[in-house]
């Protein structure tokens, strides 16, 4: 039993990434008004947040522009329309986008970093796509971006697959390897095991470990602070937990936990009150019983999302019976 | 890094106590219909839950019967009207009530256990009331009940006060010493410290350690499973998290985590759908920003509850400004 209380001090190297627009956009096909995205941007700046993930850099062939909003593709002009000639030094905020293996025209969609307001490309991929992910990381880095490695759905693959991914990622210039709990399935011990596995495999490479948690079991914040305690220095969260399905670690709770005085909770609460609360009346996200059920079964939340969007969103018992019968 | 996955096995000695009626009753002055309490009782039996806390054994002088429902006093006749001649052996369920130091006429309110359907008296007290709590524990035990020791608001007292309480409780016949996070303030490390402190102070007494978590920071379930991992064998939860303020650890998530095949999730989901969802439309509970704020400040949720019951429950910013200015 330590006599220290580490929860009242802070690590200056810990960086927060707010992915509200990117992950929340999965709820509304990224159909945000410019006003909403600008408010989120101003909030991130005012709150002292380190990174804002402003959307996906995904292919308009896969996600047609008549069905998906601008934040699914993040064309430079669209971003600049909202953030102007964003300056990461003056604002203290870096802008990031996520590019998926298999869903991005990354060879043609990325412009040189010197011509972009973006600083960071987060490369998201499933284990079987790691070779493309490695190419994407090199490509983004050569264009002058920081690139990160986001292995999705890590709870659904074997130890050997994880080891193989880590071996492939270790020599790349990715700045960060993110523990991504896509299904909201992980318990603390599993976060611990993954953290140690990732950090041992990447020792000496200078890479940071990140955490991206989902809230199916009301564990997103708990797993995030667990990862922080272990040593994760890249932490994802969203305003009011806005994100696909059960949503994410709440930025407002996370900032209240972090003791770095550069963070400011007040603009986050203001943004939630003015923009997220009204949105929550239109859109469904956050922990609810269908997400608990898929989370505990280590399933993609797809079936729960469909149920919540269907005719009987509160008929939890029929959803439970359906899922249990299909396992 | 252990090679074992303890989260897929179970400890048979771990007992779940559902305190929906007792803690949820703090939201509605215990004004439940008999039908609601009976449904909760039948759910506990069907779900394989070990203890049901059916209310408070509190004084009708302090809580007048014209303002507070029957479950604030738990007269034997009221309980029997709902549960009949409840049999703990046949049902596998023990009935419990909570008696508060300073608020109970425990000398006169308790009848001999042989004449009651109740098995367990949970003695709740603040540190400065420990002497009365000790008397209550002896009295309840002499009447034939199991008695437990529930030191409330442990996050707001000093180490020395906790040590003194533990010294006073150790020689009593209390079966269990419960870690009670009344303010929803504790993080995992703090749960760990308290667990070790409690178990070291009570070593050799045969007492179990319990956990009662509140959800101000969305950590009720996380802290509960942390306590379980450490060795807690008495675990509190409520249906749909129904409880004062931010609510409690959700029974439905907890049962999904526990692997003891005696537990059955389906009746819990049915109860929630039929009784808790409709109630949630009338009453406010569960994590929301005012509770995050009081939780992170280690304050009683009183001010947040008043705010949520007031004219502008969603004006989070004004609540934040008010609380910050008053700290």
pLDDT at B302 over 90: yes
Interchain contact A38–B (C-beta under 8 A): no
Residue pLDDT, tens place only, A68-119? 999 999 999 999 999 999 999 999 999 999 999 999 999 999 999 999 999 9
CA distance B219 to chain A (A): 6
What's residue A1's pLDDT? 42
Are A180 and A209 in contact by the 8 Å Cβ rule? The answer is no
Q: Give the span between the Cα atoms of B248 and B245, in whole angstroms.
A: 9
Q: Do B269 and A215 touch (CB under 8 A)?
A: no
Q: How many CB atoms lie within 10 A of CB A132?
A: 16
Q: Assign 3-class secondary structure to B96-129.
A: EEEEECCCCCHHHHCCCHHHCCEEEEEEEECHHH
What's residue A208's pLDDT? 98
Residue pLDDT, tens place only, A229-243? 999 999 999 999 999
Q: Chain B residues with CB inside 8 Å of A1's CB?
A: 192-193, 196-197
Question: A316 in helix, strand or coil?
Answer: helix
Residue pLDDT, tens place only, B253-294? 999 999 999 999 999 999 999 999 999 999 999 999 999 999
Q: Chain A residues with CB inside 8 Å of B256's CB?
A: 217, 292-293, 296
Q: Which residue from B275, B310, B214, B309 is spatially nearest to B32, judged by alpha carbons?
A: B275
Q: Do A266 and B1 touch (CB under 8 A)?
A: no
Q: Do A225 and B265 touch (CB under 8 A)?
A: no
Residue pLDDT, tens place only, A178-202? 999 999 999 999 999 999 999 999 9
Q: Give the span between the Cα atoms of A153 and B240, in whole angstroms.
A: 27
Q: Give the span between the Cα atoms of B134 and B171, in whole angstroms.
A: 9
* Domains of chain A by start residue, with CATH: 11-282 (3.20.20.70), 289-326 (no CATH)
- Using pLDDT thresholds of 50, 70 and 90, give the confidence band for residue A5: confident
Q: What's the distance, CA A315 to chain centroid?
A: 29
Interchain contact A225–B (C-beta under 8 A): yes
pLDDT at A123 over 50: yes
Question: B196 in helix, strand or coil?
Answer: helix
Q: Give the span between the Cα atoms of B294 and A275, in whole angstroms.
A: 23
pLDDT at A2 over 70: no
Residue of B6, B266, B315 with shortest CB distance to A273: B315
Q: Nearest residue of B to residue A296 by CA position? A: B256
The DSSP call for residue A85 is S
Question: B279 in helix, strand or coil?
Answer: helix
Sign of the alpha-carbon torsion through A105, A108, A114, A115: negative
Are A257 and A225 in contact by the 8 Å Cβ rule? The answer is yes
Q: Give the span between the Cα atoms of A125 and A112, in whole angstroms.
A: 22
What's residue B1's pLDDT? 42
What is the ipTM, given to two decimal places?
0.94
pLDDT at B2 over 70: no
Are A59 and A109 in contact by the 8 Å Cβ rule? The answer is yes
Q: Do B256 and A293 touch (CB under 8 A)?
A: yes
Residue of A7, A217, A256 with shortest CB distance to B221: A217
H-state helical runs in A202-243: 220-230
Mean of the pLDDT values across residues A167-174? 98
- What is the residue whose two structure tokens read 């429950």? B313
């Amino acid at each position: 039993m330590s006599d220290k209380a580490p929860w009242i001090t802070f690590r200056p190297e810990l960086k927060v990434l707010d992915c509200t627009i990117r992950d929340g956009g999965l709820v509304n096909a990224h159909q945000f008004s410019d006003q909403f995205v600008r408010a989120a941007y101003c909030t991130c700046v005012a709150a002292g947040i380190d990174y804002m993930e402003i959307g996906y850099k995904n292919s308009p062939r896969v996600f047609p522009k008549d069905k998906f909003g601008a934040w699914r593709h993040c064309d430079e002009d669209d971003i600049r329309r909202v953030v102007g000639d964003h300056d990461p030094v003056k604002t203290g905020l870096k802008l990031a986008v996520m590019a998926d293996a298999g869903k991005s025209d990354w060879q043609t969609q990325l412009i040189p970093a010197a011509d972009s307001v973006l600083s960071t490309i987060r490369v998201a991929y499933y284990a079987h796509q790691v070779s493309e992910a490695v190419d994407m990381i090199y490509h983004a880095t050569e264009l002058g971006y920081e690139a990160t490695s986001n292995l999705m759905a890590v709870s659904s693959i074997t130890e050997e697959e994880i080891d193989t991914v880590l071996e492939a990622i270790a020599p790349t210039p990715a700045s960060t390897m993110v523990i991504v709990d896509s299904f909201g399935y992980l318990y603390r011990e599993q976060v611990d095991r993954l953290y140690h596995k990732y950090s041992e495999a990447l020792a000496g490479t200078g890479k940071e470990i990140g955490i991206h948690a989902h809230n199916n079991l009301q564990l997103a914040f708990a797993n995030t602070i667990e990862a922080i305690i272990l040593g994760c220095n890249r932490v994802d969260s969203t305003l009011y937990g806005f994100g696909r399905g059960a949503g994410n670690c709440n930025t407002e709770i996370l900032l209240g936990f972090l003791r770095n005085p550069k963070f400011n909770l007040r603009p986050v609460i203001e943004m939630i009150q003015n923009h997220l609360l009204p949105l929550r009346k239109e859109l469904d996200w956050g922990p609810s019983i269908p997400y608990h059920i898929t989370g505990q079964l280590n399933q993609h939340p797809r079936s729960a999302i469909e149920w919540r969007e269907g005719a009987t969103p509160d008929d939890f018992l029929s959803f439970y019976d359906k899922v249990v019968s299909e396992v």
